[in-house]
Amino acid sequence: MNEQQKKSVSKFLSLILRHQPEVIGITLDENGWTDVDELIAKMNTSGHRISFDELEEVVETNDKQRFAFSDDYNKIRASQGHSVNISLGLDPQEPPEYLYHGTVAKFLDSIRKEGLQRMSRQHLHLSRDRETAMKVGSRRGIPVILNINTGAMHQDGFLFYLSDNGVWLTDHVPAKYINF
């Protein structure tokens, strides 16, 4: 597969494994997993032709490692980014002293008032470094990077999770922990 084909499959997998599994008639279990054979069969009958080898290639070469197979390769899920209500089953982890969030200027007034919210997703996403946060923010325009006092949040009892692909997840960041 060429890069464009892989990107297109990755976007479609993000849609069905994070947001709308019903588009091709699959279901996700409570931890977000779906059956690999059924996924391939239903992608093929809905016009998104793919073989197991191609699916494996997309999962393994994905720039952000967005998807993961179960150990026996029978199941697949998105590692983070869901809007559907699933539990990734991750244990809380101690975050670094600071994490970063990439956003854009037009959201800042609202973020100053209500802190960072998870919006339509199951978690709010934080990046481990400025460079990653820059890429996240750039999806929406000129990026603005917010530095978050995650060490202080941890001390105050907020919970953090680290997804299988290295994205830090939490529920809400009150404005007092954000360095604007």
Q: CB of 9: closest distance to ligand HQG in angstroms? A: 14
DSSP states along 43-107? HHHTT----HHHHHHHHHH-TT--EEE-TTSSEEEESS---S-----PPP-PPPS-EEEEEEGGG
Site string for ligand HQG, 53-92 (x = CB under 6 A): -----------x-x--------------x-----------
In this complex, which beta carbon is closest to ligand HQG, that of residue 1 or of residue 108? 108
Measured CA to CA in angstroms, residue 111 lies from 36, 104, 139 at distances of 39, 10, 18
16-55 residues in contact with ligand HQG (CB under 6 A) are none
Among residue numbers 114 through 173, which ones bind ligand HQG (CB under 6 A)? 114, 116-117, 119-121, 125, 136, 140, 167
Residue closest to 154 by CA, chosen among 139, 140, 173, 138:
173
Minimum distance, C-beta of residue 66 to ligand HQG, in the bound complex (Å): 5
Q: Measure the CA–CA gap between 102 and 171, rounded to whole angstroms.
A: 16
Can you tell me the distance from the alpha carbon of 77 to that of 28, in angstroms, rounded to the nearest whole number? Answer: 8
- Taking CB under 6 A as the binding criterion, the range among 38-46, 53-61, 69-77, 107-115 that sits at the site for ligand HQG is 107-115
Nearest-approach distance from CB 163 to ligand HQG, in angstroms: 9
Range in contact with ligand HQG (rule: CB under 6 A) among 1-9, 42-50, 92-100, 110-118: 110-118
Backbone angles phi, psi at 32, to 5 degrees: 90, 0
- Measured CA to CA, the distance from residue 149 to residue 97 in angstroms comes to 6
Of 24, 111, 153, 169, which lies in the binding site for ligand HQG, with binding defined by CB under 6 A? 111
Binding site for ligand HQG (CB under 6 A): 14, 64, 66, 81, 103, 107, 110-111, 114, 116-117, 119-121, 125, 136, 140, 167
